[in-house]
Structure 1
């Protein structure tokens, strides 16, 4: 994980992000100047960025949007002021509307990105310069510090070869804060097929079974926004346990990349928000599930049930039974 520090300076009207990255300067420069790579880490978890315009020339523009899990949208634009590959680029960063015009009442700032080689890799320094203390305080109040740290935490997966980053590490659980958990698992198979395995009933029944000794008794997927899903399981033979199930609604479907659903145990009011993202590289797919819990107590209670172990059993079965690995 990058070592990231965010420093605000009210006297000089700046916010500075410092990150030490375990990759050579050319590799880090590539991540910051390729829109496909920026898409993977510029937005914080749950708010992935999509760069729709990219003209990295002095006077050129880049335009991006970040989409929240409940349909929210926030857009921004860069105007490139200077480019000195692979050491520096400067931009004017502004909030914009759907037509790319600056939004009134939101701060714009000059941002500099500098990259320095170090014995361990590269130090990235990103400094934002504000016109007033009010503009700096407004951005901080919007969650810029927390969002930046969470976004930067995604950079390791971009800088490394995907298999080097995740192969053989099983299902990993990261506690991002009191209510957010990120679960990742590398699956040896193409994204299109992994997506189908999450939404086609005949494939779901082959792998989404949890630990051995359980069977899926009900499988109704939600493949369009507004649809409801319902999955149920029951123990088989001498396996101990009580039948249970989950249900919820689809809030966002962007096949074959992203799906956001609510989820609650059948008969229970407590609800989570599950944000599924799939990224493919060289025939392997990184499955990422960002889960938002209502509170820390619910988070800890659900994690203590052995959820991660059940997911690992299912993912292993996915590779074995669906992907023929």
Structure 2
């Protein structure tokens, strides 16, 4: 299991997850840079993702939806704010009202995220940090199952890497 640490910090309104992958940084980066690979690991295993827009560049947008086993769609968006190719990217992550136009759902929290990938021996250490506007927003996503969903999603990366 790649996820090695999960740290919710209500005082600082953050959720930090750390993972380690048995692959070089460049290979882990490719997963996020390629929407077809990202679809295989974004979202919990029973809620596969479909990316309909993928612009991994500053100012770019990512639009996706996860599909439940019953066929319900849960849309979201990333607004990319910074990219250091192969090592990190920053983005605002939010929920959308529908999978047609991806209008932000203002009733649910938006988080500011930093994903960092660094060499760790013959593998990669990944840090996924989300910052929420309030401790209440953090609590809301924790109650929605964010830790379980994100852990399940990140752990799928190992299977994808095994198929190389």
TM range (shorter): over 0.9
Conserved? CA contact 1:4–1:149, under 8 Å:
no
Instruction: Say which of 89, 96, 108 aligns to 2:110.
Output: 108
Residue 55 of structure 1 deviates from its aligned partner by 1.4
Alignment deviations for residues 200-257 of structure 1 (CA, whole Å, 9 cap, x no partner): xxxxxxxxxxxxxxxxxxxxxxxxxxxxxxxxxxxxxxxxxxxxxxxxxxxxxxxxxx
Higher relative contact order by CA 8 Å / sep ≥ 6: 1 or 2? Answer: 2
Using the alignment, how far apart are the partners of 2:49 and 2:6 within structure 1?
Answer: 20
Conserved? CA contact 2:3–2:151, under 8 Å:
no
Bigger CA radius of gyration: 1
Q: Please give the TM-score of this superposition, normalised by the length of structure 2.
A: 0.95
Runs of 4+ in 1 over 4 A off after TM superposition: none
Conserved? CA contact 2:3–2:17, under 8 Å:
no
Instruction: Say which of 139, 147, 159 aligns to 1:137.
Output: 139
Q: Does residue 1:126 correspond to 2:159, yes or no?
A: no
Structure 1, unaligned runs of 5 or more: 163-325
Please provide the CA RMSD for this pair: 1.1
Task: Give the secondary structure class of the aligned counterpart of 1:153.
Answer: helix
Q: Does residue 1:157 correspond to 2:134, yes or no?
A: no
Q: Please give the TM-score of this superposition, normalised by the length of structure 1.
A: 0.49
Alignment deviations for residues 172-215 of structure 1 (CA, whole Å, 9 cap, x no partner): xxxxxxxxxxxxxxxxxxxxxxxxxxxxxxxxxxxxxxxxxxxx
| Aligned residue pair count | 162
Q: Aligned in 2, Cα 1:79/1:17: closer, same or farther, shift over 3 Å?
A: same
Using the alignment, how far apart are the partners of 1:3 and 1:140 within structure 2?
Answer: 17
Using the alignment, how far apart are the partners of 2:3 and 2:61 within structure 1?
Answer: 29
Q: Does residue 1:43 correspond to 2:33, yes or no?
A: no
Structure 2, unaligned runs of 5 or more: none
Conserved? CA contact 1:92–1:111, under 8 Å:
yes
Partner in structure 2 of residue 178 of structure 1: none
